[in-house]
Copies of this chain bind each other. A is one copy, B any other.
Amino acid sequence: MTPKQQRSAETLDRILTAAETCFAEHGYDATGVAQICKQASVSKGAFYHHFSSKQAVFMALLNRWLEKTDQQLSSLRQTQSNIPESIRSMAVVPQFILNNSVQQLPIYLEFITQAIREPEIWQTAVEPYRRYNQFFAGIIQAGIQEGTLRELDPQIAASVMISFAVGILLQGFFDPNGADWEQVTQAGVDILLSNWMIRE
């Protein structure tokens, strides 16, 4: 890695981070390229050297997020205990997200909003999204095989679980004080497991 390449990579990262901040704070449309450049202490020339358009930064941000999520998910699997315990421990995730990355959440909403209208964005997002579904379906499948979960359609079960999580996130995001989201999450997981687990 020559010093030049390193500098270039730093610039690129500064732009991405600045863009993330700005988009999160003011939204994609309300954020100007000039604003991003200023925040990143980078000239417009540099900006357009690294990205072909404002959209491109948005896409890059999306990809960056998807990669990070991929990593976090795979690290989530390494639990030694049985599947039901595993699922129960996942109950902290929504709460964690709501507590730690509230400011990032508006961007995720915009990812979705844009994905509807920009086929390119949708294409980029839908593939990982479906993979995530498979990931959870796999966990449930494992639970069935290990004999701790009753026989159920893993795909459907995964979708139920994710729907529940997504709903909590969206509402916790929109109205953080409208409910005790921690309790709600807990209650939801309890209900799911009470139905899925095999009682001895």
Contacts and interface: CB of A to CB of B under 8 A. Distances in A.
Contacts of A112: 109, 170, 174
Interface string A132-166: 01000000000000000000010111011011111
Nearest to A28: B29
B26 A117 contact: yes
A165 to B, nearest CB: 7
Contact of A174 (B129, B175, B191): B129
Given A27-B117, A109-B112, A155-B179, A184 B160 contact: yes
12 contacts: A27-B117, A129-B178, A153-B183, A159-B179, A159-B184, A162-B167, A162-B171, A163-B167, A164-B188, A165-B167, A166-B170, A194-B195
Interface residues of A, number: 48
A191 to B, nearest CB: 4
Q: How many monomers of this protein are in the complex?
A: 4
Interface of A: 26-30, 106, 109-110, 112-113, 115-117, 125-126, 129-130, 133, 153, 155-157, 159-160, 162-168, 170-171, 173-175, 178-181, 183-184, 187-188, 191-192, 194-195
Contact of A164 (B115, B133, B167): B167
A178 B30 contact: no
Given A112-B170, A133-B179, A162-B171, 14 more contacts: A27-B29, A106-B117, A116-B173, A116-B174, A125-B174, A126-B175, A155-B179, A156-B187, A160-B191, A163-B188, A164-B167, A167-B168, A170-B170, A191-B192
